[in-house]
Amino acid sequence: MIQFEDVQQMAMIGAGTMGAGIGMCFAQAGYQVNLYSMTAERLDRALARIRNSQQLFIEEGLISAEEAQAARERIRTTTRLDEALAGVQYVVESVPEKLELKQNLFRQMEDCCSEDTILTTNTSGLSITAIASACRHPERVGGMHWANPAEIVPLVEVIRGEQTSDHTVEVIYRITERLGKVPVRVRKDVPGFASNRLQYAVLREAFHLVEAGIVSPEDVDRTLKCGVGFRYPWLGPLETADLGGLDVFHSVAQYLFPALSTAQSPPEFLDRLIAEGKLGIKTGQGFYRYEEDKRDEILRKRDLYFIRQWKLIRQVQQE
C-alpha cells in the first residue's frame, strides 16, 4: 500500500479552471505534478492561469517569486494519458461532470497506474461509489472535492465511497493537510456531499425569495454578504446556534421551517435565463450584467478578497 510519505509525484487529470488550481497547490507543496489535458492549447491556458494566480500570491506576500518559479518547474504538461500516469503514486481527476466519462477514465487510469496508486475524483456531487465501480480496486478510490478557486479556498472534502478503505481516506486526508488546506471527512457517499448540500439549500431559498418577488437578486446577495454570510468565516451555523441559544433557534425553527421552500426542481425563471444564453459572467449576463472589459478585474478582486480573508482568519486563530 502507498503510504503518505511515499507520495512524491502526482497526476492532475484535467487542466481546466479547477485542474490548474489543484495542480498549482500540489506543486507549491513540493510535489512533482504531471498536468494532463487532451489539447496543448488547454495546457497553455492552464499554465497562464497558474502564473496569474501566483502573481496575486506574490503581491500578498504568501510566496516569493523564487518559490513560484520553483513550483512551476515542478509541473510537467502532457497530452498523453499514459505518460501523465507513469510512475505516479497519486491521481486527482477533474473532468466534466458526466458519470460515464469519469467511469471510463478511471478504468483507463487504473490500467496505466501501479496497483497501489491512489485515485481521487474532484466531482462536485456524483457518487464516489459509482465512479469507483469501474475499477478493479475500488478501495483505492476516494473523493477529493475542492471549491473554486481551488488554490485559494481552504476547504477540501475527503469523501469515502462504499468500498474506499480506511487507509485510502487517511492518505487523502494527510495530503490535504500537507497542501495547507482544511480537510473535512464526508463519511457517507451522499449526493452533493456536505458543502454543496449546504450551498444548494441556501440557493433554493434564494431562488424562492427572488421568484416570489420577496427580495431582489441584489438584496438577496446583500443579505447573505452583510448578514448571515458575514458571520460564516468565523462561526458556522451550529456554532451560531450555540452562541445564540439552542432554545431560541428551536423556537424559530418551529414556525419557520414549514414556510421554507421545498422546491424539488430549479425555478422556471432560471430555465428562462439559461434558454436566453444568460449564463453568468462567462456570457456577460446572468442575474447581473458583466462588461467584457471588466470580467477579469471582477475575478481578480474576488480572489484578492478571498486571500485577504483567509490571511485574516489565520492571523486571528494564531493570536
Residue type, 126: L
Residue 106 and residue 92: Cα distance in Å, rounded? 10
pLDDT at 1: 85
Residue 184 and residue 181: Cα distance in Å, rounded? 10
Give the CATH number of domain 4-186: 3.40.50.720
Q: Where are the beta strands (DSSP E) in 84-132?
A: 90-93, 118-121
**Segment 35-39 long-range contacts (CB within 8 Å, at least 24 positions apart):** 35/75, 35/76, 35/77, 35/78, 35/84, 36/11, 36/12, 36/77, 36/78, 36/79, 36/80, 36/81, 36/84, 37/77, 37/79, 38/79, 39/79
Using the Cα atoms of residue 288, residue 293, residue 298 and residue 303 in order, give the sign of their dihedral: positive
Residue range(s) in the chain whose domain bears CATH number 3.40.50.720: 4-186
Residue 78 and residue 98: Cα distance in Å, rounded? 23
What is 140-171 written as a DSSP string?
GEEEEEE-SSTTT--EEEEE--TT--HHHHHH
pLDDT at 269: 94
In the predicted model, residues of the chain with pLDDT beneath 50 are: none
pLDDT at 133: 97
Report the catalytic residues: 124, 145, 157, 196
pLDDT at 319: 81
Phi, psi of 231 (to 5 degrees): -85, -25
The secondary structure element, H or E, covering residue 185 is strand 182-186
Using the Cα atoms of residue 256, residue 262, residue 268 and residue 274 in order, give the sign of their dihedral: positive
pLDDT at 307: 95
Q: How many CB atoms lie within 10 A of CB 310?
A: 17
What is 208-275 written as a DSSP string?
HHHHTTSS-HHHHHHHIIIIIHHHTTT--HHHHHHHH-HHHHHHHHHHHGGGS---SS--HHHHHHHH
Residue type, 100: E
CA dihedral 217, 312, 26, 124 (to 10 degrees): -30
Count the helices and strands in the chain (H runs, E runs): 14, 8
pLDDT at 287: 96
The secondary structure element, H or E, covering residue 34 is strand 32-36
pLDDT at 57: 96
Residue 63 and residue 81: Cα distance in Å, rounded? 31
> How long is the chain?
319
Give the CATH number of domain 196-288: 1.10.1040.10
Asked if 91 and 22 count as a contact pair (C-beta separation under 8 A), the reply is no
Residue 119 and residue 139: Cα distance in Å, rounded? 10
**What angle in degrees, to the nearest 10, is found between the helix axes of 40-59 and 65-73?**
160
Q: How many CB atoms lie within 10 A of CB 211?
A: 14
Residue range(s) in the chain whose domain bears CATH number 1.10.1040.10: 196-288
- Report field, pTM of the whole predicted structure over 0.85: yes
Buried-exposed string 59-76: b where 16+ CB fall within 10 A, e elsewhere = eeebeeeeebeebbebbe
Share of the chain above pLDDT 70, in %: 100
Task: Tell me the pLDDT tens digit for each residue of 42-78.
Answer: 999 999 999 999 999 999 999 999 999 999 999 999 9
